[in-house]
Amino acid sequence: MKYWKSFCAAAALSVAAVAPVRAAYPDQPIKVVVPYTAGGSSDVIARAISDELSTALGQSVIVENRAGAGSMIGTAYVANEKPDGYTLLLADVPFTIVPALYGDRIKYNARTGFAPIALLGLSPMYLFVNPSFPAKTVQELVDAARAKPGTISIGSGGNGSLTHLMAELLMLNTNIKLVHIPYKGASASVNDLAGGQIDASFTTMPTATALFQGGKIRPIAVSAPQRQKETPNVPTFDEAGVPNMGVQSWWGLVAPAGTPAAVQEKLSAAMAKVMQSPKVQSRLSSVGVNLPPDTSAAALNNLLTADFARWQDVVKRANITFE
């Protein structure tokens, strides 16, 4: 018996000696994938948080751009990476719109293939009109559209973009028909709006700032839950009498599904510190992004759940189809 105990003890020590010891997370650089080219708002946000996240975790955080197919290439890449917390995705609005437009034709499942880590920023959408457009309010625009269906044009940044779906949502919520004019980017849309080629367009204030400040376009409503400090005279859609238009651009950090809970929690806790950094807040503000009141994983999860349902409904009811 004494021999057997000694043998077991020796065997246990031997196994311990050869078994790999799992280092505490993180023990290697972390990669944040941006599914767009460098220079855009998502890229700016990723780089704004990377240094602070590196400090919080004591490990390098690298930003990698993997652009293409309207964010789908970079998103698919992260979805297929090992769920160990070392590859993260800087997700934004197309993350919830693409599944509604393309269904099972995409190479990942946005609903179940990712774990939320933190909500990073929000930016409301404005409905702008040309200054010469007779309607001064949303209700006047709705009344004009009902009086002459199909005569008022609304531009967007392209088919399937947030600005397009916002236009569709407005039409569905007010039972009006506008003529949708898709452009190759929101900037092109608001430029034509300023030139009088179209009557209205949705976009964010950062995209429209120069034209707005120059008096070339006029905002008549904002999609935020409250008025914005930079445009105190612009009512929310709720105030304008059009409910269910509370949609904002958003940015969030997600990890592949299956990432260990302890790793998710560590990342979320680190991001809570990162989002309190004055440097990060200043950088986000510089590109028109507001700090959410709640940046937690739960807040991002709630937003994703609502957006997946909203865009699925809008795409179905508006009968938007892409080949």
List domains and CATH numbers for the chain.
30-122+249-318 (3.40.190.150), 124-240 (3.40.190.10)
CA dist 306 and 22 (Å) reads 38
Identify any residues that bridge with 122 across adjacent strands, giving them in sequence order: 250, 290
138 close to 240: Cβ distance less than 8 angstroms: yes
Residues of the chain with pLDDT under 50: 1-21
Tell me the whole-structure pTM to 2 decimals.
Answer: 0.89
CA angle 163, 193, 139 (to 5 degrees): 70
207-212 long-range contacts (CB < 8 A, ≥24 apart) are: 208/126, 208/128, 209/288, 212/128
pLDDT number for residue 323 = 63
- Tell me, what's the pLDDT at 104? 87
Alpha helix ranges (H) inside 58-107: 72-79, 94-102
Confidence at residue 21, expressed as pLDDT on a 0 to 100 scale = 39
Across the chain, the runs of DSSP E, i.e. the strands, are 30-34, 61-65, 87-92, 114-129, 153-156, 179-182, 200-204, 218-222, 248-256
Question: Can you tell me whether residue 159 is helix, strand or coil?
Answer: coil
226-285, pLDDT tens digit by residue? 999 999 999 999 999 999 999 999 999 999 999 999 999 999 999 999 999 999 999 999
